[in-house]
Structure 1
């Protein structure tokens, strides 16, 4: 399916191909189109969105996975506004709360930073005063270091060295690490986790710590309005089109026999090496499962994000109208449990006094790359006219939507800056 025929070489003489319609590819295509380039976006699937899109399952419209957005996702919200998807309308903003089914709770008030974090730590339920003060001092020390560690190691080793071995480690740091890096603390990069803390709990802007939860599915949140915007502004969208050949020459990039001024590879890392052998993956991957449980509409969680500290549960997102989405990240015992049994066990851990009337399990075996210490990242410029955009190429972050968007905008600007 072709959204619109190619329109010459654009007002600035550039005809650019973007390969991959995930959030990185969308961000790149929008940036280039807004600058006047004639953009052709190739997407192998039927819709845009990549790992954050809507899917039709058993007559229901669900997300292919859950994603947590934070107030510090400035590029993501700027992109949404650019395409007419108002984040203030489509995202519900909540001051951050970390709570779980054991009674632990940390709540940040709507106070200026860093007072909000200080108050949240000092009033955290289930934590002793000595541990609270020690953690507050540790966070202050990280700020003085600008969250730059002397060397990378695992999050578990980092927490051990900092004396973070108590309740907050079990109920805050390790669960946050798994949610943000999709990699267990014993294997995850301490520097990447520190970067996440820098731009969230450690940010000088209070709003950066807010939790942003979609009021709609991810297709309506970004992918579909982006597709409409691109078509309205003259871009070509080629769905169900897998690029077969790519050659980057001195004067042009040739894709399946067509010449382009420049091109951006914005596919998932496991597919990029097929197009450009230098990107042959050397990554390890982590799985993610989303288990949807439909309860009666009267069932609601005390806060839209709840931690589950059970044999299997990790996090639960309240999607409204009784629909709960349980998220399991990283390798674990849950991988060996069949779908029906896994849904039943998570319902038991939730213990909401009612049984779900419907369930659906969506598994992705290679959902994200393992965010391990000292993970090598690929360059953004692959050849004079060929660039890379992907969450993996944004070295400051683990696999996040914000990293994908930033990488896409960066690659587009490099195209525009090239002669």
Structure 2
């Protein structure tokens, strides 16, 4: 299928999930899309990498049933979510005897599923359960909205949460969702995450979804195929070196080639977008804002054991304590969602600044010892091989009151897409996808404007929008 004659020519710079979402939506609308990615692999910070002759994810990911736009686009590009994702009820389950808790929601209608989980929870005292019930009731009364932002720790203190509940539930959830320690993480954003998990109006929206395939195959590769089927072009290993105004459109330097476009979606990382915008004085403020983002790393430790190894659950929460060389926060049995990965465990270390200072071998050895102790399986101390993959700029630091730019810029026909754009949600796959969809909508609207109205005044400022689940 080719794009219609006279179709809007759009460059999507960046082949991560935001860029792929923008490219799919533009192609669906009839635009002539060129999707350009600097690396050889699509997916950005959620992609496949080759390790020991197989393709693994650059990090373990988990989705929510509330990720409506992600699930819609998966279906659009031919991926069946029911086949591609293992659906589990919302839960926080520690290995038995490790000192944690066992909290799992029954498959009852909301909000009764949460009440059932609370009543059945093991490892929590009566005061912990009452504190959790009070928190849920108060947050629901507030509409899960906090108008004056503060740190997550301040929020928990304000709601009189118990030390054990903080240790076993709130802190792990905060670090996993925001990738920012609770002492400096945004309570406002944290409440938005809880709204769609513990506070979901539909039980299915709170479900946890584990990918059954590597992340590149889950969406980016299928998205690229969709763009090609609709007359677009895919360029991998090609860096966008510059974008410059050319009449009513844009000229982009793709590698060593200059190409004309009607509009541009910058779906590159914030730092790279800042550099591209730096050549445009009218975008100086936005460029500085993007360059100023602080980032947090995530480390994922893969440990391969005999193919017969299987955990009792698809994943467990772990009690971390860096002072005691206990770095793992969650362990996933990759063989359960994906039969092609038997005996492979993935251990996640979010907000991994300190862990990243250790050597890969040392970190993997500490994690293997932690697994052997907590799961009471001595054989886990001696994996066949290990591999630590650290994304140094996995997410932005999600701090209180952080100003995030909108998709619009002051440059006509150029918009941003990325999980760092304005949203009440942290840097998640759904945030990236929704940002890409919004960027595509702005480009389509720009294409319908008469030429005399395509001026910088119509580019708009960085206006914040709500993240609708």
TM range (shorter): over 0.9
Deviation (angstroms), 1:379: 2.3
Deviation at 1:11?
Answer: 4.8
Aligned residues of 2:38 and 2:238 also touching (Cα < 8 A): yes
Q: Which residue of 1 aligns with 2:358?
A: 337
Deviation at 1:298, TM superposition (A): 2.5
Q: CA deviation at 1:353?
A: 2.6
The residue number in structure 2 matching 1:180 is 177
2:425 equivalent in structure 1 = 397
Structure 1 runs of 4+ off > 6 angstroms? none
Whole-angstrom CA distance in 2 between matches of 1:333 and 1:378: 29
Render the CA deviation track for 1:284-322: whole Å, top value 9, x for unaligned: 111111110011222222221211113211111110011
Which residue of structure 2 lines up, in the alignment, with residue 155 of structure 1? 152
Cα 1:373/1:250, change in 2 over 3 Å: farther
Q: How far apart, in 2, do the equivalents of 1:216 and 1:374 lie?
A: 36
Farther-moved stretch of structure 1 (241-250 vs 261-270)? 241-250
Contact 2:18 2:417 (C-alpha < 8 Å) held by counterparts: yes
Q: Is the 8 A contact 2:406 2:422 kept in 1?
A: no
Please say if 1:126 is aligned against 2:123.
yes
1:299 aligns with 2:309: yes
Question: 1-side partners of 2:391 and 2:129: how far apart?
Answer: 37
Who is 2:299 aligned against? 289
Unaligned runs of 5+ in 1: none
Work out whether residues 131 and 162 of structure 2, in 8 Å CA contact, stay in contact via their aligned partners in 1: no
Shift of 1:120: 1.0
TM-score (norm 2): 0.85
Tell me, yes or no, if the aligned pair for 1:289 and 1:362 is still in contact at 8 Å.
yes
Q: Does 1:350 align with 2:371?
A: yes
Question: Which residue is equivalent to 2:167?
Answer: 170
Distance 1:99 1:217 in 2: 24
Q: How does 1:221-236 map to 2 (within 5 A)?
A: 221-236=218-233
- Give the distance between the partners of 2:416 and 2:355, measured in 1 at CA: 34
Task: Specify the SS of the correspondent of 2:241.
Answer: coil
The match for 1:379 among 389, 406, 413 is 406
Counterpart residue number, 2:62? 68
Measured in 1, the distance between the counterparts of 2:315 and 2:247 equals 51
Say whether residues 1:43 and 2:58 are aligned partners.
no
1:23 & 1:10 partners in 2: Cα distance? 25
Any residues of structure 2 matched to 1:16-415 within 5 Å, and which?
A: 16-101=10-95, 102=98, 103-248=100-245, 251-256=248-253, 257-277=258-278, 278-280=286-288, 281-310=291-320, 311-320=326-335, 321-351=342-372, 352-354=377-379, 355-382=382-409, 383-415=411-443
* Deviation by residue 1:117-170 (Cα, 9 ceiling, x = unmatched): 111122211111232123212212211211111311110111011111332211
Query: CA contact under 8 A between 1:16 and 1:260: conserved in structure 2?
Result: yes
Measure how far apart 1:198 and its partner are: 0.9
Task: State the Cα deviation string for residues 250-306 of structure 1 (Å, max 9, x = none).
Answer: 611221242211111001112111111232311111111111001122222222121
Question: Partners in 2 of 1:229 and 1:416 — Cα distance?
Answer: 18
Greater alpha carbon shift after TM alignment, 196-205 vs 126-135: 126-135
Separation in 1 of the partners of 2:296 and 2:317?
A: 20
Render the CA deviation track for 1:346-405: whole Å, top value 9, x for unaligned.
Answer: 111111331211111111222211101111111211122111100000421111000000
SS of residue paired to 2:240: coil
Tell whether the 8 Å contact from 2:111 to 2:201 is kept in structure 1 after alignment.
yes
Asked if the contact 2:179/2:351 (under 8 Å) is kept, the reply is yes
RMSD: 1.6
Separation in 2, partners of 1:358, 1:313: 17
Q: CA deviation at 1:12?
A: 6.2
Q: After the TM superposition, which of the residue ranges 250-259 and 82-91 deviates more from structure 2?
A: 250-259
**Cα distance in 2 for residues equivalent to 1:117 and 1:399:** 25
C-alpha change, 1:192 and 1:12, in structure 2 (3 Å) is farther
- Deviation string for 1:2-30 (max 9, x for gaps)? xx9xx7x7456311111000000000000
Count of equivalent residues: 413
Consecutive unaligned residues of structure 2, counting only runs of 5 or more, are: 279-285, 321-325, 336-341, 450-469
Asked if 2 retains the 8 angstrom alpha-carbon contact of 1:250 and 1:384, the reply is no
Q: Distance in 2 between matches of 1:226 and 1:150?
A: 37
Deviates more, 1:257-266 or 1:71-80: 257-266
By how many angstroms is 1:332 displaced?
4.5
Distance 1:374 1:11, change over 3 A: farther
